[in-house]
Amino acid sequence: MSTPIQALQGVPNACQISPTVLTGGQPSAANLAAFKATGGQILLDLRDPMEPRPLDEPAVARSLDLEYVNVPVSAGTMTDETMDRILGTLRTAGDRPVLVHCGSGNRVGAALLPLLMLDHGLEEEDAVDQAMRIGLRSAELLEWGMDYVRRHRRTESS
């Protein structure tokens, strides 16, 4: 049996940031089947349902018995509510492996900055480096993630 990261062979910017969190760009149906075969359980899709894509992801997820969660990240949805939904899915997953993806990894990198810093304790420079490895390229998305961290770090330390 292959490992979870091997299941994502060919997926743009595929990374494994923890034993249970994998990230990347758009996976194929074969990648999703391989992810399931390695124990994968949750698919967290950050793409808008109306974005063009090569497969009917909810249907493929259902056929594989993967839990499918869609939290679209776009210019109009970069809010605390969106970030809270993403983090809530990851935090409640427990030991269940999750694949978080968008089209390229750009949105995933930004959305995981709070997880990396608030939950995993990474310093800003290390978290940003990791987010860039995941696929983050947008300054606007970077600022969304970092702004969330700054405001919630203050709240947690109060």
In CATH, what number does 4-157 get?
3.90.190.10
Label residue 158 by pLDDT band (50, 70, 90): low
Pairing mode, if any, of strands 21-24 and 42-45? unpaired
- pLDDT, tens digit, 9 for 90 and up, residues 30-70: 999 999 999 999 999 999 999 998 999 999 999 999 999 99
- List Cα–Cα distances, 87 to 50, 98, 112, 115, in angstroms: 23, 12, 8, 7
Q: Which tokens belong to 46?
A: 């950050």
Q: What is the pLDDT of residues 2-37, one digit of tens each?
A: 899 999 999 999 999 999 999 999 999 999 999 999
| Average pLDDT value for the chain | 95
Q: What's the rounded mean pLDDT across residues 113-125?
A: 97
Q: Band of the pLDDT at 124, cuts 50, 70, 90? A: very high
Q: Please list, in sequence order, all residues whose beta carbon lies within 8 angstroms of the beta carbon of residue 76, skipping any fewer than 6 positions away.
A: none
